[in-house]
Amino acid sequence: MLTGLIAGLITGFLLSIPPIGPTNFAIMAKGFKGEKRNGIAIGAGAGFMDMIYVLISYGGFALIIGLIPETVISFYENNTHLFKIALTSIGCIVVVFYGIRIMGMKLDSAEYDRSINAKDFEKQIENSKRVLQQTKERLDRILHTHLSEKARKMEKLHEHSEEHLVKHLDENLHDEVLQYKRDIMQTEKELEEIMNSANNDPDANPRIWQNFLTGCIMCVSSITLPASWFLIVSYMKGYGLIGSDFPSGLAFGIGVWIGSVSWFWIMVNLVSKNTHRISPAALNRLNIFVGLILFGLGLFLVYKVFDYALS
């Protein structure tokens, strides 16, 4: 069983790397938005379906059949062709819909701020604080010289309102002082936005089960995937790489699932951690590109469904 588990880990990991299916592009789209757990959930759903196909290859389907009433089995056997077309069509529709949805996603500046790595984010905060402090000190120096003792109502002179300063300062100082006050307000607002963006983690409220099911359905959209796993399992059995008994198949299937999820975890983290190197406009273009690919893959899968239905 240990051999089957290790073989499954390696097989699942390696077969998940090529970015040729809808699952990879859907996970990349989640990575662009910093939704790592949602991306991993999609990968877990896809890996789960791979495990199911492996178990079916090992005769697991026969175990399930034994628990189902005869009338249901008979109905399924008489309509197998239609069931395959229906399930695959649902998967195709999900892929097309997902592609359209991703193309419509826009990354705003706040989301971009959250994607900045920790070191750059800290620098941004420190820079804003330094600019704010310098502006306050400059205004304090002006007010310390020109604002009378009687007009000083606040301990920190820059905290006086614009109306109060206009009332008690010479007219020739109004424009300069008001500009400093507005600069302080603007910098404080920018600093607040930066701090708020740090607290609004896009990965804070993941929709795990929804994305898990999305990954499952995307996997179902491929008519050829079950046959591919049957061939892989047969090949590995033939060369003695895995055992022929069901426990070995279960270990291999679990290994495939873990291996797949491991790659998707690496991929979504790599994408998410490097989005700070790309501008929001470029990320939006990448989103559109990924959406177009998914949309195209969905249409291609629809064509394959029609081809299968008419064959």
Same domain, 63 and 93: yes
Per-residue H/E/C for the chain: CHHHHHHHHHHHHHHHCCCCCHHHHHHHHHHHCCCHHHHHHHHHHHHHHHHHHHHHHCCHHHHHHCCCCHHHHHHHHHCHHHHHHHHHHHHHHHHHHHHHHHHHCCCCHHHHHHCCCHHHHHHHHHHHHHHHHHHHHHHHHHHHHHCCHHHCCCCCHHHCCHHHHHHHCCHHHHHHHHHHHHHHHHHHHHHHHHHHHHHCCCCCCCCHHHHHHHHHHHHHCCCCHHHHHHHHHHHHHHCCCCCCCHHHHHHHHHHHHHHHHHHHHHHHHHHHHCHHHCCHHHHHHHHHHHHHHHHHHHHHHHHHHHHHHHC
pLDDT in the model for residue 224: 65
- Residues 101 and 245 placed together within one structural domain of the fold: yes
> Do residue 30 and residue 71 come from a single domain?
yes
Whether residues 108 and 29 share a domain: the answer is yes
Of 178, 199, 220, which residue is a domain's last? 199
For the chain, what is the domain count? Answer: 2
Range of the domain at 125: 118-199
Higher pLDDT, 49 or 193: 49
- Assess whether pLDDT exceeds 50 at residue 175: yes
Same domain flag for 127 and 87:
no
Are 212 and 269 found together in one domain? yes
Band of residue 280 on the pLDDT scale cut at 50, 70, 90: low
Residues 107 and 216 in one domain: yes
Tell me: do 176 and 231 sit in the same domain: no
Domain shared by 109 and 158, yes or no: no
What digits encode the pLDDT tens for the residues 180-200? Answer: 888 888 888 877 776 665 555
Tell me what pLDDT residue 287 has.
Answer: 67
Domain end point (choices 199, 219, 241)? 199
- Both 98 and 167 in one domain: the answer is no
Question: What's the whole-model pTM score?
Answer: 0.59
- Residues 62-97: pLDDT tens digits? 555 555 667 766 776 677 677 667 767 776 777 777
pLDDT at 159: 79
